[in-house]
C-alpha cells in the first residue's frame, strides 16, 4: 500500500513538472508574439493628386505575421480590410494585398476626396498610421472681358481676365505681343477653390491696333502647358497721309511716280488726287491708279502743287507735293553747283569772323595792360614811354612831367 502511494506521488510530481514546463513554454511563446507584434508599425506616405487624376495609397509593414491591414477614409469608413472591399465606390480599387502591403487606388479624384486617410494594423493593441491626400484644383481656361470691337483711338478701356476652380490660387499674367506687362490682381475664395481676376487699364491709340493681349494662367496642376486666352485689339483712327516720289530733281521727259501713303482704320480708300486746288488735267501721260499718280513723260506744264487727300468716318487728312520740272539743258550749262559754292563761301566767311573776334579780344587786352602801366608812372613822366619806364621802377631818374599851355 505504501508502495502504491509512493508511486502515485511520484507520478503526480512528474505530471506537475511537465505541466509547468508546458505552461512556461506557452507563456514565453505568447510573450514573444506580443513583443513581435509590438515592434510592427504601418508605414504610409502623404500623396498629392490633380483633380480628375488617380491617387495610390500604400501601407507597408515589415516582418508581418499575417496580421490584417485596413485602409479607412477621412470619414473613418473602411475602404478595404485586407483584400476585402468594404465601401461600394467604383472609383476605389485594390492594387495589391499581401501580408506586408495593402495598396488601393482612387480614380477620378475630386476635391471631396482630400483629407486624412488611416492605415490600421490589427495587433494588440491596434497600430495606426495616417497619410494626407492633397487634391489640386485645376484652374479653368481664362476668359477676357471688357474688350470692345472696335475701340476708338483715345478710348480708356479695362481688360479683365478671370479664371476659377484653382486650388491653391492660380497666378495670372498679362502679355502684350508676348512681352509681359503688369495687371492688378484680385483673389477670392469660393469653397475649397479660388477665383483669380486680373485687370489691365489701357488708353488705346493707333499703335494698339492689331496688338495681341494674352492672359496666361500658371498653376502647379498644369504640368504640361499653361492655360491662356488671347484677344487681338482693333482700334479705329483717322488717317495720316504722306507722299513718296521717285525723283529728287524732276526733268522734262522723265518718268515720275507719286505714291500716296495713307494709314487709317478703316482704310481710307480711295484717295483723292488734285492739282492746285482743282481736278487733275485730262492728259494721257498722267495716270491715276489707286494711290499712285504717274507721269509717263514730264513737261513744264505739269508744274504745280499736287495734293493727296484721304478720308474715313473719323476724319480727313492730306499731304502736298510741289512739282517743278527742270530743263535738262539748263542744268548742264549752269556749271558748278551754286549751292555747293555758296556753302563753301559761308564757311570761309564764318572762319574769318571768328579770327577777327579773337584778334580783337587780344588787342584789347594788350592795350589795357599798356594803359595800366602808363598810369603807374604818369605823375612824373613827360610822355607815355617815360610813364612805362617809371612804372617799372625807374621813375626816380625820370624828369618831372611838365605841362605847356599855348
The matching CATH number, chosen from 2.60.40.10, 1.10.10.10, 3.90.550.10, 3.30.1490.190, for 47-136 is 2.60.40.10
Spatial CA neighbour of 176 closest among 127, 137, 210: 210
Question: Would you list the domain boundaries of the chain?
Answer: 47-136, 143-233, 238-331, 348-394
The matching CATH number, chosen from 2.60.40.10, 1.10.8.420, 3.40.50.720, 3.40.50.12780, for 143-233 is 2.60.40.10
pLDDT of 124: 85
CA quadruple 15, 19, 21, 23: dihedral, nearest 10: -170
Rounded to whole angstroms, how far apart are CA atoms 64 and 36? 9
Rounded to whole angstroms, how far apart are CA atoms 311 and 239? 7
Rounded to whole angstroms, how far apart are CA atoms 398 and 383? 11
pLDDT of 391: 52
Rounded to whole angstroms, how far apart are CA atoms 221 and 139? 8
Spatial CA neighbour of 140 closest among 190, 106, 175: 190
Q: How is the beta sheet containing 286-289 ordered, strand by strand?
A: 151-152, 235-245, 256-265, 292-295, 286-289
Within 211-346, strands assigned E span 212-218, 227-232, 235-245, 256-265, 272-275, 286-289, 292-295, 304-312, 315-323
pLDDT tens by residue, the chain, 406 residues: 443 444 444 444 444 443 444 334 343 334 444 444 445 889 999 999 999 999 999 999 987 777 889 999 999 999 999 999 999 899 999 999 998 999 999 999 999 999 999 999 988 889 999 999 999 999 999 999 998 889 999 999 999 999 999 999 999 999 999 899 999 999 999 899 999 999 999 999 999 999 999 999 999 999 878 899 999 999 999 999 999 999 999 999 999 999 999 999 999 988 999 999 999 998 889 999 989 999 999 999 999 999 999 999 999 999 999 999 999 887 766 555 555 666 777 788 888 888 888 887 777 776 555 444 444 455 555 655 555 555 554 444 444 444 444 3
Within 122-170, strands assigned E span 127-136, 143-145, 151-152, 156-166
Give the CA distances from residue 165 to residues 38, 93, 102, 133, 186, in Å, rounded to whole numbers and listed in that order.
45, 27, 33, 18, 14
Same CATH fold, 143-233 and 47-136?
yes
Rounded to whole angstroms, how far apart are CA atoms 297 and 247? 13
Rounded to whole angstroms, how far apart are CA atoms 204 and 213? 12
User: For 238-331, which CATH superfamily applies?
Assistant: Immunoglobulins (2.60.40.10)
Amino acid at each position: 500500500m505504501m508502495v502504491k502511494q509512493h508511486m502515485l506521488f511520484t507520478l503526480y510530481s512528474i505530471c506537475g513538472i511537465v505541466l509547468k514546463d508546458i505552461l512556461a513554454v506557452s507563456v514565453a511563446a505568447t510573450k514573444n508574439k506580443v513583443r513581435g507584434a509590438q515592434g510592427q508599425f504601418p508605414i504610409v506616405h502623404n500623396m498629392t493628386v490633380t483633380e480628375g487624376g488617380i491617387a495610390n495609397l500604400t501601407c507597408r509593414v515589415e516582418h508581418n505575421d499575417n496580421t490584417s491591414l485596413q485602409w479607412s477614409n477621412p470619414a473613418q469608413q473602411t475602404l478595404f480590410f485586407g483584400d476585402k472591399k468594404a465601401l461600394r465606390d467604383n472609383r476605389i480599387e485594390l492594387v495589391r494585398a499581401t501580408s506586408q502591403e495593402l495598396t488601393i487606388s482612387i480614380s477620378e479624384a475630386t476635391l471631396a476626396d482630400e483629407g486624412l486617410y488611416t492605415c490600421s494594423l490589427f495587433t494588440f493593441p491596434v497600430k495606426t498610421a495616417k497619410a494626407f491626400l492633397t487634391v489640386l484644383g485645376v484652374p479653368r481656361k481664362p476668359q477676357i472681358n471688357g474688350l470692345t470691337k472696335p475701340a476708338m483711338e483715345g478710348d480708356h478701356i479695362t481688360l479683365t481676365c478671370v479664371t476659377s476652380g484653382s486650388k491653391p490660387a492660380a497666378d495670372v499674367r498679362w502679355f502684350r505681343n508676348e512681352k509681359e506687362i503688369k495687371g492688378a490682381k484680385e483673389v477670392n475664395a469660393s469653397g475649397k477653390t479660388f477665383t483669380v481676376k486680373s485687370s489691365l487699364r489701357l488708353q488705346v491709340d493707333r499703335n494698339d491696333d492689331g496688338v495681341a493681349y494674352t492672359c496666361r494662367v500658371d498653376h502647379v496642376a498644369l504640368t504640361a502647358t499653361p492655360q491662356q486666352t488671347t484677344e487681338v485689339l482693333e482700334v479705329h483712327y483717322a488717317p495720316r497721309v504722306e507722299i513718296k516720289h521717285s525723283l529728287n530733281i524732276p526733268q522734262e521727259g522723265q518718268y515720275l511716280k507719286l505714291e500716296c501713303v495713307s494709314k487709317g482704320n478703316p482704310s481710307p480708300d480711295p484717295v483723292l488726287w488734285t492739282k492746285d486746288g482743282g481736278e487733275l488735267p485730262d492728259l494721257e501721260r498722267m495716270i491715276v491708279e489707286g494711290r499712285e499718280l504717274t507721269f509717263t513723260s514730264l513737261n513744264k506744264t505739269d508744274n504745280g502743287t499736287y495734293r493727296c487727300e484721304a478720308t474715313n468716318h473719323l476724319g480727313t487728312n492730306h499731304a502736298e507735293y510741289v512739282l517743278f520740272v527742270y530743263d535738262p539743258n539748263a542744268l548742264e550749262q549752269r556749271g558748278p553747283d551754286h549751292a555747293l559754292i555758296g556753302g563753301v563761301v559761308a564757311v570761309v566767311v564764318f572762319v574769318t569772323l571768328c579770327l577777327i573776334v579773337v584778334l580783337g579780344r587780344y588787342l584789347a587786352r594788350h592795350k589795357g595792360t599798356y594803359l595800366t602801366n602808363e598810369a603807374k608812372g604818369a605823375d612824373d613822366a613827360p610822355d607815355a614811354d617815360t610813364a612805362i619806364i617809371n612804372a617799372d621802377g625807374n621813375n626816380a631818374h625820370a624828369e618831372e612831367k611838365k605841362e605847356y599851355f599855348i
